Amino acid sequence: METITKTEQKLNKKSKIKMSGAEAVVKCLLAEGADLIYGYPGGAIMPVYDELYKYQNEIHHVLTRHEQGAIHAAQGFARATGKVGVAIATSGPGATNLVTGIADAQIDSTPVVCITGQVGSNLLGSDAFQETDIISISTPVTKWNYQITDANEIPEIMAKAFFIAKSGRPGPVLVDITKDAQFGELEFEYKKCKEIRSYTPVPKINKSKIKATAEIINKAKKPFIIFGQGVILGEAEEEFKALIEKADIPCASTLLGLSAIPTNHDLFYGMVGMHGHYAPNKLTNECDVLIAIGMRFDDRVTGNLETYAKQAKIIHFEIDPAEVDKNVKSDVAVLGNVKDTLSEILPLIKNNSHPIWHKKFDDLYEIEFKEVIDAQQNPTEGGITMTEVLTSLNNESKGDAVIVSDVGQHQMIASRYSKFNQTKSKITSGGLGTMGFALPAAIGAKMGVPEREVVAIIGDGSFQMNIQELGTILQTKVPVKIIILNNEFLGMVRQWQELFFDKRYASTEMTNPDFIQIARGYGLKANRVTQREDLLGAIEDMIASNESYLLEVVVEKEGNVFPMIPTGASVSDVRLK
């Protein structure tokens, strides 16, 4: 055991610097490399903001126009970079306005640290002005949270917050700091957290499970892989690609797994789920081995669990033991970070070939192409389709853009038709389905990867959820590209009303403002397209711009997204119309 001499203790004591709790918060952020943060000031967090003012050459604070914009921007930054995003807000409504984004980050495994101010500790529980028990409110939707009432706690708790947010299965952490703790004095010393007693973020790999999995895969005649965001979060893209190529296994992605491998890869057959591709949905119930990698068997992927892949042996690669056997019972569960578990299994996998099995995927793709894709990409009549817009964007971006989509029909179209050449290129709200996500998330993504083109695909309904974040673009000059697909409906809800509620369009038709005038009022270049022949040129102009740009495309009012698996139906019942 290493001993510390009295002389060393004295030196360490002398090396500690006295400072306020507020300054300690800023020093902690710098120690963690968090030099870009998003937030909105207020009374209870004012001491921290006063310190941020003094450190503005070292930390870039982005003033969003709403706290929800701050947390979504932090999410976009985290998803595009793989780093921890940071959002900061005051007490009461400032803190509660973060909750939707925190819940979104929790279900989508996004590493963010939220810092909220709180009333003085002597006022806790007194219903003081702007006091809200954010710890109790956020407990169900955070990976961890903690309330600091003593300035001396700040370095340790902040170190834990960043460690917990990023380690294992990532997620959101909230640190609530009372105002007296921010004003209080401490001797500052920061040590990065590397472990926490009783917290095991990455399960130990079971070698026998690795061997058993390899044997099943090697014997499979019709293997099929569904991969999720775990491949991206685990930085396992190369190992995953090596596995599918060595074993010649067809694969499909969940919504959040998109871009883990290039969309033009020969073994990639699209997306599974409610609006996924026809072949992978259908053949889920025909494969003999279903290999799930870094995904959680969400209900939008599985459809009716009573009929889901009952004929197949199920192998589940997963970092979070709580997800194993939660929805779908596995034959073998391989716990651990997928980068490590795939590295372990690769030497045991035999070179293989499954041409007959691949032909089934190809044949079903041809059916989908004739019935759905071609008609959407090359319509002979009617208004502009959302698919046309995405196809034109692909032609111009060459698959190199980061596509940030909101929630609704446009989200499914953007997910089905976007082309991706590199990882971390698809950012959207998955599990929570948060309308208003895309605009602030695109701001965060662009700031995180300024060298990449970032395009937000947003519906007219979703755009108005956080339209105020155009003000953030105005102030920061961040060159985000925005495409509004305007059908004057809450399109996904309207589609369900058409198909399942006899076209009773209850509260889904929208009377929209002039988006172009609004955009120009915020200092953005803007253009509107209503005719098909103007579409490609308008997208070319948008991509060519070095500034932020809003392009509104008026699309067909009552277009539908197919294929579609009706709620509660089997994946085998996927409909083409």
**Bridge partners of residue 271, in order along the sequence:** 253
Burial of 226 (0-12, 13-18, 19+ CB in 10 A): buried
pLDDT, position 429:
98
Nearest-angstrom CA–CA distance, 176 and 281: 44
Q: What is the pLDDT of residue 1?
A: 37
The kind and range of the H/E element at 46 are helix 46-54
Report yes or no: 102 and 108 within 8 Å, Cβ to Cβ.
no
Is residue 148 classed as helix, strand or coil in its secondary structure?
A: strand
The letter for the amino acid at 484 is I
The pLDDT of residue 16? 78
Specify the length of the chain in residues. 577
Q: Could you give the dihedral angle defined by the CA atoms of residues 404, 408, 409 and 414, in that order, rounded to the nearest 10 degrees?
A: 10
pLDDT at 567: 87
Residue 521: its pLDDT value, please?
A: 98
For Cα atoms 82, 55, 33, give the angle at the middle one, nearest 5 degrees.
Answer: 20
The tokens for 288 are 């003999």
SS3 content of the chain, % helix, strand, coil (to 5): 45, 20, 40
- Which two structure tokens, joined as six digits, stand for 478? 């961040």
Q: What is the pTM of this model?
A: 0.95
Q: Write down the pLDDT at residue 15.
A: 60
pLDDT score of 6: 55
Query: What three-state secondary structure class fits 341?
Result: helix
Are 548 and 473 in contact, with CB atoms under 8 Å apart? yes
Nearest Cα residue to 44 out of 96, 86, 85, 103: 96
Maximum CA extent, the chain: 85
> Quick check: bond before 513 cis, omega within 30?
no
Mean pLDDT by 10 residues, the chain (577 residues): 48 71 98 98 98 97 98 98 98 98 98 98 95 98 98 98 98 98 97 96 97 98 98 98 98 98 97 97 98 97 96 98 97 98 98 98 97 93 95 95 98 97 98 98 98 98 98 98 97 95 96 98 98 97 97 96 94 94
Residue whose token pair is 């101010």: 117
Residues recognised as catalytic = 67, 129-130, 179, 492
**CA end-to-end distance (rounded Å), the chain:** 70
pLDDT at residue number 11: 41
CB neighbour burial string for 17-52, b if at least 16 within 10 angstroms, e if fewer:
eebbbbbbbbbbbebbebebbbbbbbebbebbbebb
CB 171 within 8 A of CB 118: no
Alpha helices by DSSP H, listed for 120-201, are 134-138, 154-166, 179-183
